[in-house]
Structure 1
Amino acid sequence: MMSQFMARMTWIAVALAFILFVTQPIGLKLHFAFSIVALGLMILVSVLKLTGLFRHIFLALGSVIVVRYVYWRVTETVPSPSQPADFLPGVLLLIAELYCISMLALGLFVNAQPITRGRAPQQPDDELPTVDVFLPSYNEERDLVASTLAAIKGLDYPAEKLRVYLLDDGGTDEKVYSIDPSAAAAARQRRASMQQLCADLDVTYLTRERNLHAKAGNLNNGLAHSDGELVVVFDADHVPARDFLRETVGFFAGDRRLFLVQTPHFFINADPLERNLQTFKSMPSENEMFYGAIQKGLDSWNAAFFCGSAAVLRREALDEVGGFAGVTITEDCESALELHSRGWKSLYVEKPLIAGLQPETFESFIGQRSRWCRGMLQIFMLKNPLFKRGLSLPQKLCYASSNLFWLFPLSRLIFMISPLFFIVFNLEIYNASPQEFVAYTLTYIVAVMLIQNYLYGRLRWPWVSELYEYIQSVYLSGAIFSVLANPRAPKFNVTQKGNSLSDDGLSPLAWPFYAIFGILAAATAFTAWRYFEEPASRNLLLVVGIWNLFNTILAGLALGVVSERRERRKIQRLSANRSGELLVEGLRLPVQVLDASIGGLKVRLAGAQAQHLSPGRHRATIRVAGVRSKTVLQAQVAIATAVAGEGGRILGLSFVDSAPERYRLVADVAYADLTAVRDMRASRHVRRNLIAASVGTVLWGAREMLRGLYFLLFRRTSPVAPAPLAPPAPVDPVHTDEAVMPSVRPARKGLARLPKATGLGDIPRPTTA
C-alpha cells in the first residue's frame, strides 16, 4: 500500500511540475525558439526510428508544445464576452479544439504501451474445450452464407468438439407470418433455403419467433440452444482461415478469468473511399489504425473490446451477465464493458484470421457508420464508463476514448465553417496576430501531425483521417443529435452488402458535399478579392484564407468519394496457388488454380490439349487436393473465358450449381490459408513523409475535384445492382419447414427456454442457473 501511495504521489508531483513549466510566460520569441528545437528533436527521433526511452522523449516534447498552445489559446485568444457576435462562435471553435486535444491526450494514454501477442499456446486435441460457432444472419445472399459456413466446417479443430449454428433472423416466425404476403413468401423461401443449406453442410439451423434485440437477441437465442465451453462469433461475410481456432483458443487455458480473444477484421474489398479514389492496393485501410494500433494499446490496459465478429468468448462469463447485452445497438462493445466491470479479462491477437466484406456503396458505408456512432454514444449516455463500478481508471479512460471519439462530426464541421465567420462576416473569433499564429498555432499543428505520424504513420497516412471524418460528418451529425435527444430511440439497422455499382455515377448522398464545396470555393475567391481590396487586413486574411483553402481541398477530395466508380469485379476474388485437374471430354488436364471466389475459379493449363477448349461450349469437373490430407474437393464448372497467358492458357471457370461441394472447394482454396491476404495488408504499411504527403494531398484534391465536377455534369445517376450470385438451391415444395430442418438440441438447463409465438411479449434472455 505504501509503495502504491508513493507511486501516485510521484505522478502527481510530476504532473504539477509539468503544468508549472508549460504555463510560464516565457515570451513569444523564446516560446517559438523552444518549439523549433523541440520539433527538430522530434523529427530526428522519427527519422532515425528511435524507440524505447526516445519514444517517451518524443511524446513528452510534443506534449509540451500542445499544452503550451492550450494554455495560450484559452487565456489570450478568446474574444471578449462584450462582443457576442465574436464571442459565441469563438467559444464554439475553442470547444471543438479542446475536444480534439482531449481525444489526442486519451489516444496517447491508450497507446502508451501497446502489446503485441505471440502465438496462442498449443494444446493436445483431447485437452481442447468444446466450441460453438455462431453465424448470425439476416438478409445476406445464400452463396455468401454458404461459403462462410463451409469455411467454418473446415476449421482445424476436432470435429467432435466443434458445433456450428446458423442463427437466421431472416426466417423468424415474425417474418414468415408477416401480414405482407410478399414479405412472408420471401421469408418462407429464405427459411427453407437456409434449412436445406444447413442440412447439406451438417450445420444446426436456428431461428426464433421475433426479431427482438436485433443481433444481441439472435446471439442469445444461440446461447439458449447450445452448451459449448467457448463461443465463436462470425458475421456472415467474415470467412475464417483454417487456423482461426488454433491461433485463439489456447489463450483460455492459461487464464480462467479470460472472457474474450478478439482478432482483427480484414477486408478483401475496398470501401467507397478506397474504390472511388483508387487507393485500396497502396494505402492502409481505414480500420487498420484501430486494429493495428489502438486495440493493441487497449489490450495493455485490459480494455480490448468485442468487435462483434472474429472473436472467441467464454460461455461462463456470458452466463454471468445474462448473455450478450442488448440495451444499445452496439451489443459487442456493451457486452465487453459489462464483463470488464465484473473483473473479467480480454486479449487481442493482431494476426488477421478472417477475410470480410465492406459496404460497397457510399450510402451503405454511411449507414454502417451511423449505427456505430449512435451505438457508442448510447453506451456513454446509458452506461457511462467513467462512472461504471468495477472498472479500473485506465479502463474507464479507454472506454471513454472509444465512445467519445464518435463526437468528431461536430468538431469537424465547426472547423469547416469557422473561417467563413471572418472571411464573409468579418468576425474575429480567434484573437491572434500572424506572429502569434506562427509561434503557437502552426507549431502546435506540426507537433500533432508529427505525433500522429510517429504513432500511426504506417497505418494512417497524413490528412486521410481528416478526409474520412469529413465525409462522415455531414450525415453523422444528425445521428448524434438524435441520440442526445433520446438515447434509447436508435434501432439496429443491418448494413447492406453484396450490392455492386453497375455504372459510374453520383451517390444519392452527394448533394450536400457539392453545396459545401461551392460555398468554400466561393469563400476562397472572396478571400482573394478582399486581400487585394483591403491591405490593412491582409495578414489575417492570409492566415484564415490558407485555413479555408485547406478545407476547400478536403471538400474537393470528398467530391471524388461521392463520385462512385462502377465495380468492375462483381464478386471478390482471392489469390490462390493450388494444383488440381480439370476433367473435360474424358481428358484429365492438370491445372494450376490462380484465384477463387464464390462465383468461380481462374486456372492455368499448359500444353496443346488446352487449345481446343473455348467459352460456352464445355462443362467440366474441377478437382483440387484439400488442405487436409487424403481429401479431394471437386465441383461442376463451365468454361466462361479462355485467353492466352504466360505459361499456358488461362481459363475462367464458373460454377454451375449450388451443391455443397462447391462451397467446400471455395472455402478450402480461397480462405483456408490467408497468408497472401496478410502479405497484401503488410505491403500497404508504408509511412509517408509529411511534406510529400501534404503536397500529394493538394494535387490529389485538385484531381478529384475535377472528376467530381465531371460526374455532376455528365454522370448523375448511380444504379446499384445486386451481385450476380447463384440462385438459392431448389427446395422440395412438399416438405414442411420442420421436415428439412436439422434437429435442434433443447435449451441448456439454467437458460431461459424460448416461449411459443403467442403474443407480443419479449423473448426472455438467457439467465444463469
Structure 2
Amino acid sequence: MGVAMSLLRFLSFLLLGGVAVALATQPVSVQAQLATSVSVIFLLALLWKFSRGAEARQLFIALALFVVLRYVYWRITSTLPPLSDPVGLTCGSILLAAELYCVAMLLLTLVVNAEPLKREPAPQIEDEALPTIDVLVPSYDENASILATTLAAAKSMDYPADRLNIFLLDDGGTDQKCAHPDPAIAERARARRAALQELCAALGCYYLTRERNEHAKAGNLNAALEHVSGDIVVVLDADHAPFRSFLRETIGYFFEDDRLFLVQTPHVFLNPDPIEQNLRTFRRMPSENEMFYGVTQRGLDKWNAAFFCGSAALLRRAALDEAGGFSGVSVTEDCETALELHAQGWTSVYVDKPLVAGLQPDTFASFIGQRVRWCQGMLQIFLLRNPLLKRGLEPLQRLGYLSSMSFWFFPFPRLVFMLAPLAFILFDVKIFVSNIEEAIAYTATYVVVNAMLQNYLFGKVRWPWVSELYEYCQGVFLTKAIVSVFLRPRSPAFNVTTKGLPQTQDRLSELAWPFFAIYGLLALGAGVAVYRCVAEPGVRQLMFFVGLWNMFNLVTAGVALGAVAERRRRETHPRLPVERRGALALGEEHVRVAIEEVSAGGCRLRAATDADAKALAAAKEMEGRLYIDSIADAARRPSLSARIVGVAPDGRRHIAFTLSQPQDHLALADLMYGDATALERFQAARRKHKGIIAGTVQFLWWGVIEPLRAFAYLRPRASETALREPPAFADLSNLLGRRQPRLRPPAEAAAPRAAERAPSSKNENA
C-alpha cells in the first residue's frame, strides 16, 4: 500500500510537471513575458504577506516554478551562441549546463520539501518496559576534557541505570598505535589508553579499544558491536553531549513501529564555525546546517528518507545485525548505513528537537577538511550505491537520497557562475545571446523569483546569499576532491575533524591565497567592464548587465576574504544560556543565585533577590562552591569549585570552575545539560528571518568591509598565530585528581577488549 501511494504521488508530480512545462513553453513576446513575470512576482508577494497555509505554500511554489520554467525554456531555445562561434558555444553550453544543474536541484529540493513533517512527541514508556541501550562514543584524538564532558552527560541521561551502558570506543589507544615503530607515538597511545581507562572507571563507563585501526569510524563501531548486547544503540560523536531528556524524548518511537531502525535528532553546535566566527554572525544568524536539520530532514522524513547523520541518533540493534553492522564502503558510513536499511524495508524517524549539543571545527582549514570528507563520501555512495539503481527503495526515497548526494556537485556550477562573466568582459566571448530587454524580462525576473522562493521556504534557517557564500568558500577546494572520487571511487580515506584548537591572534588561513587571487581577477574584470562601458558604446547595454553580474561575484568573493581572515577566539569554552538556580557559598555566606550562562570553564550568575545581592556584595571571600539545584534529584545538590573572576556593573558575577575530579564533570553535566529547553531557546534565538532586501544590504556591507580587514591581515606581524594541538591528556592529572599512571613498556601494551563487558539482557518490547 505504501509503495502504491508513493508511486501515485510520484506520477501526480510528473503529470503536474508536464502541464507546467506545456504552459511554460508557449511562445510570447518579450513585453508579455515581462508583464507575466512581474504579475507573478506581485502575486507571490501577496501570498507571502497574507497567506502562509499549506495550500498557499503549494500555490507559491507552483507560481514560482512557472517563471523558472519559462526562463529555462528561453535559455535553451534562444540564448546559445551559434555554431559559427565554437568558442562561444562551448562556453555558453558550460554555463547552461551549470544553470540546468541548479534548476534540477531546485526541483528535487521542492519535491523533498513539499510537505515537511512535524512529528508528534514520542509516547512515554514505563521504566519496566524500556529496552536496554548501549551508548557508543567513538573517539580518535579528542581532548580528555571534551571526552569527560560527553561521557558525563551521557551517564546523566534520564534512563534506568540498569538498562543503560556507556562505552568509550578509543581508536587512539589501539594495539596498533601502542606498538607503533615511532616510540613517541607509541608512548602517547599507551598514555592515552591508561588515562582513559581510569577516566571511564571513575565515571562508571566502559572502555573499549581494538587491535588495529581499520575501516575508520565504521570499523570502530562494528568492533564495539561484538562486545555490546543492548536492544538499542545510541551513537554520539566524542564532542556531542546529550541533554538529560534525550532518551525519554526519542525511545518511545520504537514502540510505535517494529520496523523502525533509526531515530535521528538534529546536530546543534555551541560554538561558531569559522565563517560565523570570522564574520561575527554567531548567535544572530541561523547556522549553516540549520537548513538541513530544520527543513530538509523534516522533508525527507515525510517520505521515510530521513537518514543517519553519524551522531545524536538511536538505532535498533536487530536492524544493524540484519545489515551486517555499519556500512564502510564510503567515508560517510552514516548515510550509507541508512540507505542500506531503507532498501531492506526498515523505516526512520526524524525528531526536530535539539537534544544534543556539539562542537564545530575551529579553523577554516579544518572546516574544509570536514566538508571534503562529506563531499567525497556522498559521491562515493552516488557512484557505488546509487539510489536510483538500489533495489528496495520507494520512488520518493530514491529522489530524497539523490537530492542529498547530487547536492555535492555544487562546486562546479558555483565556480562557473563566479568566472563566466570574465569570459565576455576580458575576452569578448559571448556566452549567451540576449539583449537588455530579454535579460530583464527573463533573467532578472528569474533571479527575483528564485530569491523569493528560497526566502519563503527557508528564510528562518538561511539568510539571503549565505548559500552562495558557503558554496563558493567550499567549492574552491572541493572540485579537486570530486575529481579524485570519480577517478578512484574507493580511494578516499576517513579524516578526523580537528576541534578544540586555541587561536590567540588574528591571522589569515593557510588556505586563503586562492581567494585573494580570484578576488583580484574579479576586481580586474570590474575595472575592464567599466572601461568598456565607456569606450565601446556598441556593447554598453550587455556589458552593463554582465558587469552587474561580475560585481555581485566580486561582493561574494569579498565576503569570502572575510571568511578566511580568521579572528582570534576569545572564548576557550562554548557558552550556553540557561535558567537554573543554586547557591553560592563564599566563606560563611550562602547566597541564592540565578545562573544565566554556563560553559565548561565557568558561568555567569546573579543574586536571586535583593537581599541576596546585598549579601553577595558584602562577601569578602572570592572562592567557594556553587551548589546546583539538581533537575535529576531535588534532594541532591551537586556542587562545583567556584572562584569569582569578574563583577559586571549590574552586579552579575563571572565564575570560573575548577574541574579537578571526574565527579565535577557529572555536576557540570547536570548544570549545563540538565534542561533541554535551554538548547531550544538557544536555537530559536538564532532562527531570525531576514528579508531579501535586508539580507542583500547586509551581504553588500560585508562585501565592502571584509576585504579591508582581510587585506589588513596581510601586513607583517611581530608574531604568528599560536595554533597548536592541545595535548590530549595534559589535563588528566587534574581531571582524575591524581598523578598520571606509570606507563607500561610496549610488551605489556595488549589492548583490553573491554574494561568490563556490559550485562547481557534483551527486551523484546522495543
| Range into which the TM-score falls when normalised by the shorter chain | over 0.9
Report the count of equivalent residues.
746
- Give 1:228's aligned residue: 230
Counterpart of 1:336 in structure 2: which amino acid?
A
Q: Is the 8 A contact 2:659 2:665 kept in 1?
A: no
- Give 2:460's aligned residue: 458
**Secondary structure of residue in 2 paired with 1:120:** coil
1:602 deviation in Å? 3.7
**Secondary structure of residue in 2 paired with 1:580:** strand
- Give 1:764's aligned residue: none
- Give 2:298's aligned residue: 296
* Residues 440 and 183 of structure 1: CA distance in aligned 2, closer, same or farther (over 3 Å): same
Counterpart of 2:328 in structure 1: which amino acid?
G
Give me the CA root mean square deviation: 2.5
**Secondary structure of residue in 2 paired with 1:167:** strand
**Secondary structure of residue in 2 paired with 1:577:** strand
CA distance in 1, matches of 2:520, 2:124: 60
Q: Is the 8 A contact 1:640 1:654 kept in 2?
A: no
CA distance in 1, matches of 2:586, 2:495: 47
Among 625, 631, 639, the residue aligned to 1:627: 631
Q: Is the 8 A contact 1:196 1:740 kept in 2?
A: no
Equivalent positions of 1:131-210 (< 5 A) are: 131-210=133-212
Among 550, 553, 556, the residue aligned to 1:554: 556
1:224 deviation in Å? 1.0
- Give 2:731's aligned residue: 727
Query: 1:551-587: CA deviations, max 9, x gaps?
Result: 0000011111111110011111223333333445465
Among 652, 655, 667, the residue aligned to 2:655: 652
1:438 aligns with 2:440: yes
* Residues 581 and 435 of structure 1: CA distance in aligned 2, closer, same or farther (over 3 Å): same
1:410 aligns with 2:407: no
1:32 deviation in Å? 1.7
- Give 2:372's aligned residue: 370
1:744 aligns with 2:756: yes
* Residues 552 and 14 of structure 1: CA distance in aligned 2, closer, same or farther (over 3 Å): closer
Counterpart of 1:444 in structure 2: which amino acid?
Y
* Residues 331 and 747 of structure 1: CA distance in aligned 2, closer, same or farther (over 3 Å): farther
Equivalent positions of 1:588-603 (< 5 A) are: 588-603=590-605
Q: Is the 8 A contact 1:225 1:744 kept in 2?
A: no
Equivalent positions of 1:292-371 (< 5 A) are: 292-371=294-373
* Residues 225 and 10 of structure 1: CA distance in aligned 2, closer, same or farther (over 3 Å): closer
Q: Is the 8 A contact 1:144 1:598 kept in 2?
A: no
1:650 deviation in Å? 1.6
Q: Is the 8 A contact 1:564 1:718 kept in 2?
A: no
Q: Is the 8 A contact 1:195 1:742 kept in 2?
A: no
1:588 deviation in Å? 4.3
* Residues 297 and 676 of structure 1: CA distance in aligned 2, closer, same or farther (over 3 Å): same
Among 239, 250, 265, the residue aligned to 2:267: 265
- Unaligned runs of 5+ residues in structure 1 are 751-769
**Secondary structure of residue in 1 paired with 2:511:** coil
Q: TM-score, normalised by structure 1?
A: 0.93
- Give 2:647's aligned residue: 643
1:528 aligns with 2:530: yes
Q: Is the 8 A contact 1:120 1:247 kept in 2?
A: yes
Counterpart of 1:60 in structure 2: which amino acid?
A
- Give 2:687's aligned residue: 685
CA distance in 2, matches of 1:612, 1:732: 44
Among 24, 29, 43, the residue aligned to 2:45: 43
CA distance in 2, matches of 1:286, 1:248: 25
CA distance in 2, matches of 1:701, 1:537: 27
CA distance in 1, matches of 2:9, 2:741: 72
**Secondary structure of residue in 1 paired with 2:261:** strand
1:698 deviation in Å? 1.3
CA distance in 2, matches of 1:740, 1:379: 34
**Secondary structure of residue in 2 paired with 1:312:** strand
**Secondary structure of residue in 1 paired with 2:268:** coil
- Give 1:276's aligned residue: 278
**Secondary structure of residue in 1 paired with 2:367:** helix
1:649 deviation in Å? 6.1
**Secondary structure of residue in 1 paired with 2:414:** helix
CA distance in 2, matches of 1:418, 1:147: 49
Indicate the percent of aligned positions where both proteins have the same amino acid. Answer: 48
CA distance in 2, matches of 1:574, 1:699: 29
Query: 1:319-366: CA deviations, max 9, x gaps?
Result: 001000000000000000000000000010000001111111111111
CA distance in 1, matches of 2:492, 2:751: 38
Q: Is the 8 A contact 1:570 1:724 kept in 2?
A: no
CA distance in 2, matches of 1:619, 1:566: 29
- Give 2:736's aligned residue: none
Q: TM-score, normalised by structure 2?
A: 0.93
Counterpart of 1:350 in structure 2: which amino acid?
D
CA distance in 1, matches of 2:339, 2:385: 9
**Secondary structure of residue in 2 paired with 1:387:** coil
Counterpart of 1:744 in structure 2: which amino acid?
E
Q: Is the 8 A contact 1:353 1:674 kept in 2?
A: yes
Equivalent positions of 1:83-94 (< 5 A) are: 83-94=85-96
Query: 1:168-225: CA deviations, max 9, x gaps?
Result: 1111111111011101111111101110010001101100011111010111112111
- Give 1:765's aligned residue: none
CA distance in 1, matches of 2:229, 2:482: 39
Q: Is the 8 A contact 1:192 1:740 kept in 2?
A: no
**Secondary structure of residue in 2 paired with 1:385:** coil
CA distance in 1, matches of 2:400, 2:287: 23
Instruction: Return 632-641 or 517-526, whichever deviates more.
Output: 632-641
- Give 2:481's aligned residue: 479
Among 17, 27, 30, the residue aligned to 1:28: 30
Instruction: Return 737-746 or 212-221, whichever deviates more.
Output: 737-746
Q: Is the 8 A contact 1:623 1:632 kept in 2?
A: no
Q: Is the 8 A contact 2:10 2:396 kept in 1?
A: no
CA distance in 2, matches of 1:400, 1:87: 30
Equivalent positions of 1:703-722 (< 5 A) are: 703-713=705-715, 717-721=720-724
CA distance in 2, matches of 1:261, 1:323: 17
Q: Is the 8 A contact 2:194 2:741 kept in 1?
A: no
**Secondary structure of residue in 2 paired with 1:501:** coil
CA distance in 1, matches of 2:648, 2:281: 29
* Residues 531 and 734 of structure 1: CA distance in aligned 2, closer, same or farther (over 3 Å): closer
1:550 deviation in Å? 0.3
Counterpart of 1:326 in structure 2: which amino acid?
G
CA distance in 1, matches of 2:296, 2:325: 26
- Unaligned runs of 5+ residues in structure 2 are 734-738
Counterpart of 1:132 in structure 2: which amino acid?
D
* Residues 434 and 638 of structure 1: CA distance in aligned 2, closer, same or farther (over 3 Å): same
CA distance in 2, matches of 1:337, 1:499: 34
Among 244, 247, 250, the residue aligned to 1:245: 247
CA distance in 1, matches of 2:564, 2:711: 11
